[in-house]
Amino acid sequence: MASELKYLSGFGNEFQSEDPRCPGALPQGQNNPQKCPYGLYAEQLSGTAFTAPRSENQRSWLYRIRPSVLHQPFEKVKNGHVTHDWNEQPPNPNQLRWKPFDLPKAGEKVDWLQGLHTVCGAGDPRTRNGVAIHVYMCNAPMGDKAFYNADGDFLIVPQQGTLHITTEFGKMTAEPNEICVIQQGIRFNVSVLEPSRGYILEVFDNHFHLPSLGPIGANGLANPRDFLTPVAWFEDRDIPEYQIISKYQGQLFEAVQNHSPFDIVAWHGNYAPYKYDLANFMPVNAVRFDHCDPSIFTVLTCPSNKPGTAVADFVIFPPRWAVQEHTFRPPYYHRNCMSEFMGIIYGKYEAKEEGFQPGGASLHSMMTPHGPDSQCYEGAVTDPLKPTLIADGTQAFMFESSFSMAVTKWGFDGCQKIDPAYFKCWQTLKKNFNPHWRPEK
């Protein structure tokens, strides 16, 4: 399947694409002609307000076989383990760590939507202000079912297994060490050929942007040309009962229609799903002394209305060289006015090599202290400071948010993956204070 896929390159570009089976399907010169080529319907999908500044305005024009309004009424369905009820559990400021989340059991068929579980979050999609963090564990295709999120954007981080995603804009795959973003309102279907697991960052407020580079200059971190958007692909398929699932105000609703929703023959605009290979990230770091803040590893950011403060940042800790002099190289001990949810795709995270496992996670809440475990600290203050390749064979990431996260009932109890011994990784840190120490002359 991957060899058949084609992509458009660049972040936030004004793209145009048509399925080669219908040349000329994309109208020229105007968006909404009286009669579209091939008898298609014109439909606009708006990701921002009509009057948003041009530099921020996001919308796409879709030319489809049937308009998306052609469905039966939506009806409420069971939510499964998706929730935005942040009052399910009493607050807990402790450091939390989850062991790897369980994949579906043998003989059990679970598709991507059925395997979606909310771990934590904050805010309210009704007022478009907040975030949610989910995990998914699945082993079966979605079949004749499509999903769209009316509440916000999904940033999907596969950890195990490849996702084969069909969207209204075309097809794409997302493998471990790749991410994909599917924005608010875009319908998609996920198929898997093997047990799959991963993480999702959902934002209600805004869309993801590349961070400003400031004094770094024009290049570095995630470069726009490395983001890929699918090209137009359609299917004209009549189906007696095709399910359209909507996540609306934190609840799931289902409508039935008699055809595939993936019938867009051509499209143009700058509001489209995209993917990115984390191996293309170009780290920038100190080369003399001291330790940069983790913000230097930001791939994408969803800004808030407060300058310099994000609704959520997606940050990675990729393989990179550490060459600083007279510097404590691991992550420093820290208390933060942000919430930090971490996951690991593969390998061993350098600050906690033993307990932090691929497919698991941790949450360090606002102003709760955290940092390297005892073993990492002892090694860091005694190892010779020669150039060292750190995080080799490892990819860890962080969802960092200005919202104070509440953990769901499933996240605390239902998954049964909380590590009660997490706090012990710091308990053997020694008191090294020596009041008689004097600098050498």
Q: Write the Ramachandran bin of 273: left for phi over 0, alpha for psi from -120 to 50, otherwise beta.
A: beta
Query: Of 299, 343, 321, which Cα lies nearest the Cα of 392?
Result: 321
CB 300 within 8 A of CB 210: yes
pLDDT value of residue 281: 98
Query: Of 196, 204, 189, which Cα lies nearest the Cα of 155?
Result: 204
- Residues belonging to the active site: 291, 334, 340, 364, 370
CB 41 within 8 A of CB 266: no
Q: For each of the domains in the chain, give its residue range(s) and CATH number, in order of start.
A: 2-278 (2.60.120.10), 282-420 (2.60.120.10)
118 exposure class (CB count in 10 Å sphere: 0-12, 13-18, 19+): buried
**Which residues face 317 on adjacent strands?**
396
Residue pLDDT tens, the chain, 441 long: 334 689 999 999 999 999 999 999 999 999 999 999 999 999 999 999 999 999 999 999 999 999 999 999 999 999 999 999 999 999 999 999 999 999 999 899 999 999 999 999 999 999 999 999 999 999 999 999 999 999 999 999 999 999 999 999 999 999 999 999 999 999 999 999 999 999 999 999 999 999 999 999 999 999 999 999 999 999 999 999 999 999 999 999 999 999 999 999 999 999 999 999 999 999 998 889 998 999 999 999 999 999 999 999 999 999 999 999 999 999 999 999 999 999 999 998 876 666 789 999 999 999 999 999 998 999 999 999 999 999 999 999 999 999 999 999 999 999 999 999 999 999 999 999 999 999 887
pLDDT value of residue 291: 87
**Which residues face 361 on adjacent strands?**
98, 343
Residues 60 and 271: their CA atoms lie apart, in Å, by 5
Could you tell me the pTM of the whole model?
A: 0.96
- Token representation of residue 367: 């102003």
